[in-house]
Chains A and B, each alone.
Chain A
């Protein structure tokens, strides 16, 4: 009855899949090695994960621009390649943080590294497609692995964090699927490029206005959960508090880069179609998010929670660039994350080296401000590096995040939104208060307790990661020019 379907291997264009295949195969390899010999030390798995990530990076760098593959499902355009590079580099900074001098529960399982690689593959699938099925599957692969990674930290806090994140993630999945269903009902396709063409021909039909708005609202709620935008940000500080410090730093960067890449594709389509409402909604969400999160960060007693709110505020700042719908704005998103990545992971790694098994300063918090009081007397180098990360996060020139901020503000002015640039500037000024508060504690206060073990968790690999992050933060002025031109070229080549 049916003709057998013949698919030639060339038409699949498997090269576009190579980066994800490397990560998935690597994760399976780790599971198999664990089956054969279950007694290997975690440092072996860390090195293996780094090796696999290097292969992944090489495969990503070897991709040709704007290539489609696998029945046109994969789309390796500039946005996909840049965000994959950022995801892999952030993962390579995260992995060595497992090599602490003290033993932690999650790293004794090889499954941690396998799940980690599956998560990286999930994020890569999510950014490298404009087919909503693959975006959805990638999103869920990554999220489900991430919930498990959080719960593996094995504290009652981290279970609660995993459950909270899981509930919010399941809700976001429901909204995303429903939004895709409405878009499918509107256009009869779930590939964004085709959907844009069909919608463009139907957009003048007044009966469809409500449906167009409905699909954009559902998708925006889903993305707002993933990007932790107000009013869907409430889970984020709790999850960051419950997760281990490196994972919290990782969560502030990689899932958001992936969600931003998807947002550029989806909401860029709506804005290009002239649905002005979407742009206004994004601007409103962005401004409210950065302001509320900044105000909440002012009253936090714990440095990790403060950094959680600060990363929400940074996400709001970057969301505003999405609404500009200029190439400069889209490039600004990735530039900001490329610069923010090192500083943020460095700051969370500094929390990680001072992590104790028991909470020595506070019944609830691991890293209250008092812990860092007088740090300059105890570990001068640590205090200086932490201060450097804080100044960079506050946007003090010439450190890295300053360049991201100034680039996005300039893009806002060029797009004719001067008031937006002013709001951004005011928010940076507010945020300086809580970053400087930590610096005041470290440099001007006396130690509250005998903190002889503040170096507690330090080891050579952690020092290397922090050193690298510090160099990237300080030396931003030397590499920011080529970085801007590279990102700008990649984004403009993919037509955003």
Chain B
């Protein structure tokens, strides 16, 4: 029988994968994917907890998270496109000019 804890474990594992992706990826596009993985992990947790409590608030939150993830993609990819036009690369190691 699959219960709440299974979903929460999946969610926690996905969240950690996303976090590791953000920390390890050097390509900005992949890095943005990793943040999406984190947000979707949250959605799983919300949907599962919402079902557990029989309360719709969690699913509502999940919908807002989806909407926000979509708008983040729109803004983020817009910035990436101008960055790519300027530099011709999306590799973090080549891009960083400000340090210290």
A interface list, Cβ under 8 A from B: 132-133, 136-137, 140, 144, 147-148, 151, 156-157, 159-163, 166-167, 170-171, 173-174, 177-178, 180-182, 184-185, 188-190, 237-238, 241-242, 300, 305, 364
Pick the contact of B38 from A148, A174, A189, A190 — CB < 8 Å? A174
The answer to whether B57 and A184 have CB atoms under 8 Å apart is yes
Contacts of B60 in A (CB 8 A): 133
The answer to whether A184 and B49 have CB atoms under 8 Å apart is yes
User: Chain B: interface secondary structure?
Assistant: helix
Interface pairs (27), CB distance under 8 Å = A132-B61, A133-B60, A136-B65, A137-B64, A137-B68, A140-B71, A151-B82, A157-B98, A159-B83, A160-B98, A162-B79, A163-B83, A166-B76, A170-B76, A173-B68, A174-B42, A177-B65, A178-B38, A178-B45, A184-B49, A184-B61, A188-B53, A189-B55, A190-B58, A190-B61, A241-B98, A305-B100
- Shortest Cβ gap from A219 to chain B (Å): 13
Contacts of B99 in A (CB 8 A): 238
The answer to whether A156 and B97 have CB atoms under 8 Å apart is yes
Interface string of B74-100 (1 = CB under 8 A from A): 011011101100110000000111111
Known: A156-B97, A160-B97, A173-B72. 18 other contacts (CB 8 A): A140-B72, A144-B72, A157-B98, A159-B82, A160-B96, A163-B95, A167-B28, A170-B32, A170-B72, A170-B76, A173-B39, A174-B18, A174-B19, A177-B39, A177-B42, A181-B11, A182-B45, A237-B98
The answer to whether A156 and B22 have CB atoms under 8 Å apart is no
Contacts of A136 in B (CB 8 A): 61, 64-65, 68
The answer to whether A170 and B97 have CB atoms under 8 Å apart is no
A287→B60 CA distance, assembly (Å): 38
> Which of A144, A166, A170, A242 is packed against the most chain B CB atoms within 10 Å?
A170
The answer to whether A144 and B79 have CB atoms under 8 Å apart is no
The answer to whether A156 and B61 have CB atoms under 8 Å apart is no
Q: In this complex, what residue of A is CB-closest to B74? A: A144
Contacts of B55 in A (CB 8 A): 188-189
A184→B61 CA distance, assembly (Å): 10
